[in-house]
Amino acid sequence: MSLPEHHKAARLHPAEKVIKVETLPIPSITHPDDAIVKIKLSGLCGSDLHAYRGHEELHDVVITGHEFVGEVVALGSAFQKGATERPPLYSTLKLGDKVVSPFTSSCGECQSCRIGFTSRCAHQLLFGSEKLPGGQAQYVRVPKAGGTLFVVGSESANSSLSSFSDTSLLLLADILPTGCFAALQTVQHPKILAPLTGMRYPLASISILPGQGELHSVMDDPSWPKVLDEDRHLTIALIGLGPVGICALVSLLDLLSSLKARFRLVAIDLVESRKLKAEAVFNNLPPEARGNGLGEFVVASPDEAKDIVKSWTDGAGCNAVMEIVGNNPALALAYDLIRPFGVIVSAGVHQAPPVPLTGRQLYNKNVALEFGRCPVRTMFPMAVDLLRRRQDIFGEVGTAVGLIDSVVSLDEAPEYYRKFDKGECGKVIFDPWK
Amino acid sequence: MSLPEHHKAARLHPAEKVIKVETLPIPSITHPDDAIVKIKLSGLCGSDLHAYRGHEELHDVVITGHEFVGEVVALGSAFQKGATERPPLYSTLKLGDKVVSPFTSSCGECQSCRIGFTSRCAHQLLFGSEKLPGGQAQYVRVPKAGGTLFVVGSESANSSLSSFSDTSLLLLADILPTGCFAALQTVQHPKILAPLTGMRYPLASISILPGQGELHSVMDDPSWPKVLDEDRHLTIALIGLGPVGICALVSLLDLLSSLKARFRLVAIDLVESRKLKAEAVFNNLPPEARGNGLGEFVVASPDEAKDIVKSWTDGAGCNAVMEIVGNNPALALAYDLIRPFGVIVSAGVHQAPPVPLTGRQLYNKNVALEFGRCPVRTMFPMAVDLLRRRQDIFGEVGTAVGLIDSVVSLDEAPEYYRKFDKGECGKVIFDPWK
């Protein structure tokens, strides 16, 4: 396949804090494990705004964007050789494969990758950073392509994903797995398993303690009162209703529904349009995907949320808070809302300020905290499963319920960065060929 | 039973920062749920030093101490009535029962207690605080005694604990359950289960995801490399080798041994005598309680530990760090030592300074943090099980391996507070009748 010499790319000029769409030489294979992907669509994500707003120390001009779906148009020599000492990932990827990429590269070979911690692969690089040009462009170079790219359609093999729209597949690059990851970490935390299952904390999830059985309570004292049905009523707050927040919401509701859990969920944002979107999404879910009638759901401002949680729980607070914003006010709000032995899952990309909490505060509430970047490559199966079942939310563009506001030309990137920064639009996707 | 009018008690005078042993009126029943316990032994604990050193804002003179074993000598009217609407705990406790108390009271009736979060009971009070006089005395009042006290010997019923020495039973009040709790939280954290079991992260511990089975990996991709044996080699650091640290060490080794886990464990302290104690304890454990030959163990200073972990893991860091100190240098060291997707379990009682970490740091390493006070009442069964099997460590006084240095008269409290503060002695127990 012969490739053109130049392509179109959006670049952030950090000194001026502006996005410019420019014509640049197209990327080329620089390592045997590289692939070049011709981009069909690339997304604008909330975390693109960190650099845009100057919250990250950038010196160089960078091609932005870390969400893309496209087609493999060039492969390094590793893939041609079919070297037997490499994982199958490095021999099965083919020219012409339709792929989606996690927002960070991962080799698929190191210890972190083997264990599933792909977002902290020893070779990980973030697309759209100074070390790796991003996907808001017509072409992108993907390092460690065998371990990074996820094949969603192939000439040689049927894929169950081939019927999905490109816009919905794009959500697999970051926001849908990130939402699923936040929800899974929340529901599965040992401090949540007790009120969720009705077994007394702490539960032994592996057979290491007298009592045995796969999941059982460590304290087995017949004179101690039993966990009551009313204790199994989870109160959860979700802070941040941008696109990742909506993904976390849908995933959480999906998990809670599967578990037949009783819950009260308050979804919090300052922006009115985001609260309306969250409400529309909830109301349009089929009953079996929003709690089978066992769940209560409201949207609220931060201040309203405090009062709501107080009245719901007689002052006790939330069992869990999902913090999908990534700044200190959101983290401080999460602490205010959490009850003792509660779990705060922070899916936001945090910046330089120290955590706004003291050790004493964390001790006093026996808080559990989970931070960090989603291992997207690992979360694909769970995200794909949800994507398949929720095409109304993830597959449609410009509807009240759909997560994606619009697909626009990459030429409009400067304008849409501005709008997104101001909260004037939701999730936008760039078509670099439009 | 007729009680004397006065008793002997150690009190902290916060303005002068001194401990005085004084004669005071004995405590009396002030609520139907109260018990009066005649104290046999009471312990001096590392966290007694927080107030002693002036790290806690105290205005009143307080009777110190939150570890005690003794005998029930008076009960409030709740226990005589045998009220049917109360849990059995409030009718089975009898005069003459030998009891050990968790360091905080717990009602055994509220939602927190039912779920097992007893240390954050809605009515919890800390012994030895301004709100509840402590146990370094001859008598103590125990509120919510049905939910608080743990019967270890009774005239009416055989107890499997009746053969245990009082000194060993005293360890159930705080430090042994606290050590067990830290070890259990570490080994069972979802981020540790993957390298522990060899199943790829994240594991679904409850059947909520495609794939099913009680404990299974969410990502089930046959082309992805398998977790290797070498990936199942856990590297763990334990910071703080005071008495609670030793309990955490023994409990961790016990769990890892049961699981047949391969591990490298570095135990860290600045004080030479504490490192020697940790080494003696390890070396005297039977092989099946220190890893069946699958474990490596060293003691080290903080700086040495950094180098050791670096060389063990090729720079990756620890899978888990147990922080049993409760100050910011220990927390900062824990962060330095942890690898991405690692777990920091903090069992220390932290004070007022903000956590010495930024949100970005926590995000960058996908850190999980677990803070807070041990729910001792809930952890009794696990602690008792360990106590039974490790009498050489927990049951003997003044040996190289034994955790308890000496049993001294309560009259010597001022002197032993001073020594303990300076690191000149290990765990000391007061006999208020000596």
**Model confidence pLDDT, tens digit, residues A36-86:** 999 999 999 988 998 899 888 888 999 999 999 999 999 999 998 756 678
* Token pair for B413: 């409290």
Nearest-by-Cβ selection for A355 from B87, B354, B385: B354
Asked whether residue A205 is domain-assigned, the answer is no
Residue B213, in any domain of the structure = no
Q: How many helices (H) and strands (E) does chain B have?
A: 16, 18
ipTM value greater than 0.90: yes
Q: Total domain count for chain A?
A: 2
Beta-bridge partners for B297: B265
Under DSSP, the state recorded for B228 is: P
pLDDT band at A387 (very low <50, low <70, confident <90, very high): very high
pLDDT, residue A338, reads: 98
Domain boundary among A345, A371, A397: A371
Six token digits for residue B33: 């749920």
Q: What per-residue confidence (pLDDT) applies to B210?
A: 41
A332 touches chain B (CB under 8 A): no
- List the structure tokens of A162: 């081939």
Give residue B211's pLDDT: 41
pLDDT at B310: 98
What number is the average pLDDT over the span A278-301?
95
| Residue among A85, A107, A111 with most chain B CBs within 10 A, to mutate | A111
Whether A209 is covered by a domain: the verdict is no
Q: Give pLDDT tens digits for B176-233.
A: 999 999 999 999 899 998 999 888 998 876 554 444 446 677 777 888 999 999 999 9
Round to whole Å and give the CA distance between B143 and B156.
Answer: 23
Predicted pLDDT of residue A412 = 98
Q: Are residues B408 and B287 in the same domain?
A: no
How far is it, in rounded angstroms, from Cα B277 to Cα B267?
11
pLDDT reported for residue A210 = 42
Tokens of A76: 């390094």
The Cα–Cα gap between B246 and B179 comes to 8
Range 15-74 of B in CB contact (< 8 A) with A: none
Confirm whether B73 is domain-assigned: yes
Full residue range of the structural domain in which residue B416 is found: 6-173+376-431
Q: pLDDT tens, A295-316?
A: 999 999 999 999 999 999 999 9
What's the rounded Cα separation, in Å, for the pair B313 and B61?
50
For A171, which DSSP code?
G
Nearest neighbour of B359 by CB, restricted to A181, A194, A353: A353
Residues A105 and A183 occupy one common structural domain? no
N-terminal to C-terminal alpha carbon distance within chain A:
22
In this complex, do B353 and A375 lie within 8 Å of one another by their Cβ atoms? Answer: no
Point out the domain boundary residue: A322, A355, A371.
A371
Subunit contact B218:A379, Cβ cutoff 8 A: yes
Distance CA B333, CA B298 (A): 17
Does residue A154 sit within a domain?
yes
pLDDT range class, residue A214, cuts 50, 70, 90: low
CA distance B186 to B323: 11
Q: Which residues contact B47 (CB under 8 A, 6 or more apart)?
A: B66, B174, B326, B349
Q: How far is B5 from chain A (nearest CA, A)?
A: 34
Question: What is chain B's percent helix, strand, coil content, to nearest 5?
Answer: 35, 25, 40
The confidence score (pLDDT) of residue B213 equals 47
Q: Which of A328, A348, A371 is at the close of a domain?
A: A371
For B351, the closest chain A residue by CA position comes to A360
Residues B390 and B315 in one domain: no
Selected residues 177-206 of chain A with any CB under 8 Å from a CB in chain B: 181, 184-185, 187-190, 193-197, 200-202, 204-206
Say if residue A125 is in the same domain as residue A23: yes
B350 and B264 assigned to the same domain: yes
Of chain A, the percentage scoring pLDDT greater than 70 comes to 95
A325-348 mean pLDDT: 96
Same domain for A367 and A262?
yes
Give the residue among A239, A303, A313 at the shortest CA–CA distance from A269. A239
Query: Which residues, 6 or more positions from A223, have their beta carbon under 8 angstroms from its beta carbon?
Result: B87, B88, B89, B92
Give the whole-number percent of chain B exceeding pLDDT 90.
79
Q: How far apart are CA B23 and CA A244, in angstroms?
A: 63
Residues A238/A347, Cβ–Cβ less than 8 Å: no
Q: Specify whether A19 is located in the same domain as A114.
A: yes
Looking up residue B344, the CATH number of its domain turns out to be 3.40.50.720
Which segments in chain B show pLDDT lower than 70?
1, 82-84, 156-159, 205-215
Same domain, B323 and B354: yes
Q: What value, to the nearest 5°, has the Cα angle with vertex B150 and ends B147 and B152?
A: 160
DSSP symbol at B358 = B
Chain A residues close to B375, C-beta within 8 Å: 201
**What's the mean pLDDT when you consider all of chain A?**
92
Peptide bond into B202 cis (omega under 30): yes
Q: Do A206 and B197 touch (CB under 8 A)?
A: yes
Local confidence band at A215 (pLDDT 50, 70, 90 cut-offs): low
Task: Report the pLDDT value the prediction gives residue A47, as an integer from 0 to 100.
Answer: 87
Provide the pLDDT for residue A153.
85
Residue A213 lies in a domain: no
Is the same domain home to A62 and A123?
A: yes
Please give the distance of CA A389 from its chain centroid, rounded to a whole number. Answer: 17
The answer, yes or no, to whether the previous bond of A27 is cis (omega within 30 of 0) is no
pLDDT tier, A158 (very low <50, low <70, confident <90, very high otherwise)? low
Q: What is the pLDDT of residue A157?
A: 61
DSSP B144-168: THHHH-EEEE-SSS--TTTTS-HHH
The pLDDT, as a whole number, for residue B273 is: 92
Instruction: Tell me: do A13 and A157 sit in the same domain.
Output: yes
Q: Which of A103, A114, A365, A377 to mutate to test the interface with B (most CBs of B within 10 A)?
A: A114
Six-digit token string for A175: 């926001």
Lowest mean pLDDT among A210-224, A341-355, B7-21, B302-316: A210-224
Are B184 and A225 an interchain contact pair (Cβ–Cβ within 8 Å)? Answer: no
Q: Within an 8 Å CB–CB cutoff, is residue A372 touching chain B?
A: yes
What CATH number does residue A75 fall under?
A: 3.90.180.10
The pLDDT score that the predictor gives to residue A204 is 76
Gap between the Cα atoms of B360 and A352, Å rounded: 6
- B16 and B72 in a common domain: yes
Residues A236 and A336 in one domain: yes
What pLDDT shows up at residue A50? 87
The alpha helices in A374-428, defined as continuous H runs, are 376-389, 391-394, 413-421
Which of A95, A103, A90 minimizes the C-alpha distance to A45? A103
- For A179-202, how does the pLDDT look when each residue is reduced to its tens digit (9 = 90+)? 999 999 999 899 998 999 888 998
Pairing of strands A404-409, B404-409: unpaired
Whether A214 is covered by a domain: the verdict is no
At A80 the pLDDT is: 83
Contacts of B75 (CB under 8 A, 6+ apart): B29, B34, B35, B36, B93, B94, B95, B145
**Residue B317, C-beta contacts closer than 8 angstroms, at least 6 positions apart:** B235, B309, B337, B338, B339, B340, B342
Asked if residue A220 is part of any domain, the answer here is: no
